[in-house]
Amino acid sequence: MEERIWHKHKWPEGVPWDIEVPDAPLPALLEETVRDYGDLSYTIFQDSHRTFREVNELANKVAHFLISRGIKRGDRIAIFLPNLPHYPVIFFGILKSGATCVTCNPMYTAGELNFQLKDSGARGVFVMDHPQFYETACKAVEGSEVEFVVYCNVKPFLPPLKGLLGSILGKIPKARAHLPGHISLEQAINGMPATSPNVPIDPREDLALILYTGGTTGVPKGACLTHRNFWANIIALEEWMRIEPPSGGRPQKLEKGKHCFMGVLPWYHSYGLTLTMLSAVRLAARLVCVPDPRAGNPPFTEVLRLIEHHKATLLHAVPTLYSVLLNHPLVEKFDLSSLVACASGAAPLPVELAKRFEEKTGAVIFEGYGLSETSPVTHVNPTDRSLRKFGSVGLPLPGTDVKILDVETGTREMPLGEDGEIAISGPQVMKGYWNRPEENELVFRNIEGKRFFLTGDIGHIDEEGFTIITDRKKDMIDVGGLKAYPREIEEVLYGHPKVANAAVIGVPDEKSGQAVKAFIQLKPGETATEEEIIEYCRDKMAGYKRPKYVEFRETLPMTTVGKILRRQLRDEEWAKANKGKSGS
């Protein structure tokens, strides 16, 4: 890669400008680790450990089960699970069969999941054996191409005594009843070979994952990520992560077989998938499975306990989680000093929060940036405290090129320091959106022989090559790191018989950063309450998407052609919030 401005000033010593991406399918990541570190623990759940070798053998069995069901190269299989030890087994098993994973948010309603299953054409679903998740999946498969459902119970992944007591006391979650034809994971893999099937995979062309995102319009669509996309991101992050040794001296790459990840980020999303579940494999690190970060009394106590209990060294999270842990009423009772490096993404990281967390733990915390469409990481601040720049999302990863383009056409490069739309080129950039050729034409540009992805985010590159995000071109609402898209929520609101017009925006919220607020214009002669609108949304969308506030207005601000001006509503709300702060 040719020299860029970000290479000239605070580029970390020893980090290459470019990377070599292995020409191998993604399961080779696990198989390579098995060869050298096969007997080390990989997943940890309720103090039960599974080694890399055990996970690999179970994944091979899942692959053979899928092949026995007629699954072929390129077929799609959905995963509807929280962060359980089953996840890497199933994820790698699907890939070993030649199929493509479709990871699904376990908080989705049946309608939301049904859309994903139908849009992707998924032929099978793996779901947690749980009253809520299983019943949601059963409803969601109706009208889809799904041919089989495999339910996954936690008991086989528990220590024997816990499993026995849990069964006796009825504390192990399971569905109230299983439908005929649905089978358990244990039934599915029973008698299957533990050796890897011989399925040809093209890492550059074959999809490892279809990850649904609102993209630039808010309409859910699948980002098509290849095996090579993930390899590129994992290798670049491995090169980038260099931590100063405890005794001081030059920052070093993380040593394999020595670390422990806290798996708090959801693995259905590429942030948690790449930076914890897959990076743990590359580092031969232990991975603590956290299916519910809110567990404990008060909430999130379990995360603090697990960090101390397992002496976790690496934590990737969103700013709200760092804030919750730091302000937890019991935080002083737990030893968090094992942490050495913490990454933050998905939302801006407040400087004071970062400094306070470092003082508490001794770990270095650094902010990054990425998107579902980029596997996900494109930028990271240097992990060397002397080089990072708070308020920025950092420097582009090795092998990643960045341009700031004019917002109107996305074709003209802006001068250094001037705002425009951030565009990314690199081996981690998706192949395109699933069956959306018109969307691909909107978001890709060929510039100087390179293919750039238009991110929808507004920002600039400063004089030292750091990228500063100044605004969101997208109307996306960030609720504690989870993305809510106004258009999707508005579509639900328009289904209410009393609603004439609706507009949804994000408003400031102390707990989650932003909360969803809906502005409603009722049909003539109708009356409604805030509670009525919120209740209407309850079973139609995930909790974080549901409006927290509802305001009724006689009219909503519109353009001359009748387009509702969300920005005007947003500006009004944020101005009121800022006025409240200055007046307090």
Q: Which residues contact 281 (CB under 8 A, 6 or more apart)?
A: 29, 30, 33, 42, 52, 88
Per-residue confidence (pLDDT) for residue 581, from 0 to 100: 62
Name the token pair of 58: 């179970």
CA max distance for the chain: 73
Fold of the 5-10+380-472 domain:
Luciferase; domain 3 (2.30.38)
Name the token pair of 569: 């509503």
Cis status, amide bond into 298, omega within 30 of 0: yes
Q: Are 427 and 232 in contact (CB under 8 A)?
A: yes
Residue 183 is inside which H or E element, if any? strand 183-184
Per-residue confidence (pLDDT) for residue 20, from 0 to 100: 97
Helical residues (DSSP H) of 124-220, grouped into ranges: 131-140, 160-169, 185-189
> What are the residue ranges spanned by the domains of the chain?
5-10+380-472, 25-202, 477-583
Provide the residue count of the chain: 584
What is residue 302's three-state secondary structure?
helix
Rounded distance between C-alpha atoms, residue 238 and residue 234, angstroms: 6
Residue 346, sorted as left (phi over 0), alpha (psi -120 to 50) or beta, turns out to be left
Q: Are 423 and 453 in contact (CB under 8 A)?
A: yes
Rounded distance between C-alpha atoms, residue 149 and residue 129, angstroms: 11
- Burial of 247: CB neighbours in 10 Å, binned 0-12, 13-18, 19+: exposed
Burial profile 493-532: b = 16 or more Cβ within 10 angstroms, e = fewer: beebeebebbbbbbbbbeebbbbbbbbbebeeeeebeeee
Q: What is the pTM of this model?
A: 0.86
Name the token pair of 276: 């914890």
Residue 249, sorted as left (phi over 0), alpha (psi -120 to 50) or beta, turns out to be left
Q: Does domain 477-583 have CATH number 3.30.300.30?
A: yes
CA-based R_g, the chain, Å: 24
Q: Which residues contact 91 (CB under 8 A, 6 or more apart)?
A: 59, 79, 101, 103, 267, 273, 277
Cis status, amide bond into 376, omega within 30 of 0: yes
Q: Which residues contact 337 (CB under 8 A, 6 or more apart)?
A: 361, 362
Per-residue confidence (pLDDT) for residue 584, from 0 to 100: 47
The half-sphere exposure of 353 on its side-chain side, counting CA atoms within 13 A, is 20
Q: What does the pLDDT profile of the chain (584 residues) look like in tens digits?
A: 999 999 999 999 999 999 999 999 999 999 999 999 999 999 999 999 999 999 999 999 999 999 999 999 999 999 999 999 999 999 999 999 999 999 999 989 999 999 999 999 999 999 999 999 999 999 999 999 999 999 999 999 998 867 666 666 667 889 999 999 999 999 999 999 999 999 999 999 999 999 998 644 457 899 999 999 999 999 999 999 999 888 888 899 999 999 999 999 999 999 999 999 999 999 999 999 999 999 999 999 999 999 999 999 999 998 888 988 998 999 999 999 999 999 998 877 878 889 999 999 999 999 999 999 999 999 999 999 999 999 899 999 999 999 999 988 899 999 999 989 999 999 999 999 999 999 999 999 999 999 999 999 889 999 999 999 876 666 778 898 887 878 788 889 988 999 988 999 999 988 888 999 999 999 889 999 999 999 999 999 999 999 999 999 998 987 544 567 887 898 899 888 877 665 54
Domain 25-202 CATH class label: alpha beta
Per-residue confidence (pLDDT) for residue 408, from 0 to 100: 83
Name the token pair of 344: 């933050």
Per-residue confidence (pLDDT) for residue 320, from 0 to 100: 81
* 5-10+380-472 and 25-202 share one fold: no
* Four-residue CA torsion sign, 339, 345, 347, 352: positive
Rounded distance between C-alpha atoms, residue 467 and residue 403, angstroms: 10
Helix (H), strand (E), coil (C) string for 549-567? EEEECCCCCECCCCCECHH
